[in-house]
Copies of this chain bind each other. A is one copy, B any other.
Protein backbone atom coordinates (compact mmCIF):
# COMPACT_ATOMS: atom_id res chain seq x y z
CA UNK A 1 0.00 0.00 0.00
CA UNK A 2 0.95 3.59 -0.43
CA UNK A 3 1.05 5.51 2.83
CA UNK A 4 1.47 9.14 3.68
CA UNK A 5 2.84 10.29 7.02
CA UNK A 6 2.21 13.85 8.15
CA UNK A 7 4.61 15.17 10.77
CA UNK A 8 4.03 18.47 12.52
CA UNK A 9 5.49 20.32 15.51
CA UNK A 10 3.53 19.58 18.68
CA UNK A 11 1.26 22.31 19.98
CA UNK A 12 3.31 24.68 22.09
CA UNK A 13 6.59 23.81 20.40
CA UNK A 14 8.23 26.73 18.64
CA UNK A 15 8.10 26.46 14.86
CA UNK A 16 10.72 28.81 13.40
CA UNK A 17 9.87 27.93 9.80
CA UNK A 18 6.24 28.83 10.39
CA UNK A 19 7.26 32.12 12.01
CA UNK A 20 9.51 32.90 9.03
CA UNK A 21 6.65 32.29 6.61
CA UNK A 22 4.29 34.53 8.60
CA UNK A 23 6.84 37.32 8.72
CA UNK A 24 7.38 37.15 4.95
CA UNK A 25 3.68 37.48 4.11
CA UNK A 26 3.12 41.27 4.32
CA UNK A 27 6.06 42.10 2.05
CA UNK A 28 4.62 39.76 -0.56
CA UNK A 29 1.19 41.36 -0.37
CA UNK A 30 -0.64 38.64 1.55
CA UNK A 31 -2.97 39.31 4.44
CA UNK A 32 -5.42 37.39 6.56
CA UNK A 33 -3.12 34.41 6.98
CA UNK A 34 -2.22 33.13 10.43
CA UNK A 35 -1.39 30.05 12.45
CA UNK A 36 1.22 28.93 9.94
CA UNK A 37 2.89 25.66 10.93
CA UNK A 38 5.46 23.93 8.76
CA UNK A 39 5.87 20.20 9.03
CA UNK A 40 7.04 17.30 6.90
CA UNK A 41 5.30 14.80 4.68
CA UNK A 42 6.72 11.38 3.90
CA UNK A 43 5.18 9.19 1.22
CA UNK A 44 6.21 5.58 0.76
CA UNK A 45 5.24 2.15 -0.46
CA UNK A 46 5.02 -0.38 2.35
CA UNK A 47 4.15 -4.07 2.16
CA UNK A 48 3.32 -4.59 5.82
CA UNK A 49 1.47 -1.60 7.16
CA UNK A 50 1.73 -2.83 10.74
CA UNK A 51 5.35 -1.62 10.56
CA UNK A 52 4.27 1.97 9.98
CA UNK A 53 3.86 3.01 13.58
CA UNK A 54 7.29 1.74 14.57
CA UNK A 55 8.80 3.35 11.47
CA UNK A 56 7.39 6.74 12.44
CA UNK A 57 8.57 6.48 16.01
CA UNK A 58 12.06 5.19 15.24
CA UNK A 59 12.96 7.08 12.10
CA UNK A 60 10.54 9.56 10.61
CA UNK A 61 9.36 11.66 13.54
CA UNK A 62 10.99 13.02 16.66
CA UNK A 63 8.17 12.22 19.05
CA UNK A 64 9.57 14.50 21.74
CA UNK A 65 8.66 17.55 19.71
CA UNK A 66 6.58 16.25 16.81
CA UNK A 67 3.23 14.56 16.32
CA UNK A 68 2.66 12.25 13.39
CA UNK A 69 -0.40 11.05 11.57
CA UNK A 70 -0.59 8.17 9.12
CA UNK A 71 -2.92 8.48 6.15
CA UNK A 72 -3.42 5.70 3.66
CA UNK A 73 -3.42 6.83 0.05
CA UNK A 74 -5.21 4.83 -2.60
Point out residues on A near B: beta carbons under 8 Å.
2, 6-8, 18, 21, 24-25, 28, 30-48, 51, 54-55, 58-60
Contact = CB atoms under 8 A, between A and B. Distances in A.
B40 A38 contact: yes
A33 B44 contact: yes
A39 B40 CA distance: 6
B51 A33 contact: yes
Contact of A6 (B18, B41, B58, B60): B41
Given A30-B51, A59-B28, A39 B37 contact: no
Contacts of A8: 41, 43
Nearest to A24: B59
